[in-house]
Chain A
Amino acid sequence: MKASILGRSLRPVAATLAAAAIGLGASGAAHAQAKEQFIPLTGYWVGPYAAGGSGFFGGMVDYLTMLNERDGGVNGVKFTFEKCETEYNNARGVECYERLKKKGPTGATLVHPLSTGITYSILEKAPQDKVPIISMGYGRTDAADGRVFPWVFPLITTYWSQASAMINYIAKKEGGHDKLKGKKIVLLYHDSAYGKEPHAVLQDEAKRHGFDLTLIAVAHPGNEQGAQWQQIRQIRPDYVILWGWGVMNPTALKAAQKTGFPREKMIGVWWAGAEEDTIPAGDAAKGYVAAGFNVAGTNYPVIREIQKYVYGKGKGEMDDKSRVGSIYYNRGVVAGIITAEAVRLAQERFGKGQPMTGEQVRWGIERLNIDNARLKQLGAEGFMPPLKVTCQDHEGSGLVKFQEWDGKQWKVLTDWIEPDRKLVRDKIEASAAAYAKEKGIALRDCSKEN
């Protein structure tokens, strides 16, 4: 009798203890099994550049969500996200980066700042925190020299490669580089650091091939270009390269129509070659050509998979589903592919089915080799150029396609076009070396990397 009283009075205590033990065990297990790969989304969904930011991050998140839904992530490690609005403002970008860098079981995997200014602002912070920066088609061009910038990857192509590829495209159209002699080319550029990036490369190209280059600046934001087009009318150039941003692009297209300059002879940079640039210009955009390191359209297996697994389940990022397949959206899908492939490669080396740290992912990015066969498996053949990153070369490709706006959509005109690799690479190395000297950085010896 006594024992039973004791037993009864002790039972709740024992039960509580047992429950606590189970709870502890469960939480411990949950901690060990948090198979998540955290991706910070430092982007912009409001403000003047929201079209670019929402499209890009929409595409990236949708692609990674598709992997989560279809394959359960990468070898069972699912991607998780957190958004932080930067408004394209450097100080806000730094705050977002600082806030998100330690989240998730292994911290931020990598960061896509999607702003040249923010890329610069975290350029020296990220290596200290061991977070790789991927700046696809923007940011610091000379970071393509991986010996000086181990943590920064301006993947696929840089402004300098693109300027050079544009000249190669013109030469191809004209029937050879020797035909460039005596031609007149105008660079109509956004008067900012971004717009001045291509000057040196184009001037070198002009010297070598003997064409006349005129640089014409447009002040931000660029909604008034009367004087510039007056000047273009006087010069009567053979080609106009449009290095614009935001409202400057449709304005230039409309002004070209008014001036009677053929749109087929206007070539845009990839930040001037999205639907958001051409649709506001209406008819005036018809025939306009722009470079791009990804193509538009939904007719690729990878996009169809996203529509099936993500939008089919009502989990898509884009409120306006018609933007799936637009230039910015597809660029985000390219970013997603690169992110996932880098994580996959890192897992093969450091442990399959484990969340990777930023340091391990950096190892993966530096060894990315996405060839055409792999692109085909991913359902992205022709969607983005093949990519091979090395310790030396953090650009990895340099290829761009040229697309024409037919009034309704972008039509691919060319295959992947090469830049003048030697010219660009020499410039990159010279600039990176100057930076290394200023900062007292010793060049990394790439033969010792494994």
Chain B
Amino acid sequence: MIARVAGTEPSGAAKVPVEDRLFSLVLALVATETGLLKSEILSTVRGYAERYDASGSNANLERQFERDKDEIRDLGIPLETVESPDRPGDNQSLRYRIPKGQYELPEAVRFSPDELALLGLAAEVWREASVSADSQRALTKLRSLGIEPRDPVIGYAPRLRVRDAAFEPLRQALDRRQTVRFRYFKPGEREPRVRTVDPLAVVLHEGRWHLHARDRDVDEPRTFLLSRIVGEVQPVAGSTFDAPPPGIQDRVIAELDALRLSNVADLAVTAGSDAEVRLGKRAVDGDEDAGVIRLHYTDEAVLADELAAYGPEVRVLGPASLRQAVRDRLRLVADAHRGRSER
């Protein structure tokens, strides 16, 4: 039997801070080998025990425990549930524990001062709040090893922004292997269409974020541009899927690279223009004197947007579809800005 002690504290005792409760819970679950019953946790662990009612239902406290478990697991701490061999399926006899071997960083994973300096710079890259927070938490964990990083890499300020609203919900869906639904606006289609997909990988290629996913409606893998996802990414309740093969993200990048190499645009650029200098740096071939360059591209609509920005500095020679796409864009812009604003 577990004695109920803390619950008898005088009312008005200072509330136990959340991190104190979580810390006490982790300590208790790491220390146990056989696991603790939920009733044991709620009645003894600091932060719960003060509010435990031995004769009541403790429904609030149980919900608190469920949320705390999720939060601890979100931090990468392997909180396990063990079924009682005698009473499978009985929720009240489930035991909880954190196996020490899976909690601790493996012995082989140690970092040199140089590596830590590089990791510090890698964490600095992220401007997007949630990824940045994840990176910083990882650094905090690695600091526990007590290695002082070599002086920060000077002369660099690398930054990666994420401007697609779909990024964070998709990253969560990847982690939870959660099916999601969103509206997708494919170039050439009249309006956005609803897609239901199992997200497998999210990759940045040629400056654009792509989602690789299994499209549930056609049961085929598809790659989507995050910038063309319209509105919210919604989880499909109760629908999850198996983990994709390891390294799938590298395969997706290789596929996008192959796609890029298979697309060839021929452009005429104005001598001495911004287009000549900047597009010229990406050229794979060309005749400088004739002002003609050739470059590869992944997505025709994306390149057409970029080329439209150069206005008269660049003219598409081919392919015809790209030529028309750029022309359509310039016409759209010219028409929208003709005359005085009607408003």
Answer yes or no: are A and B bound together in one complex: no
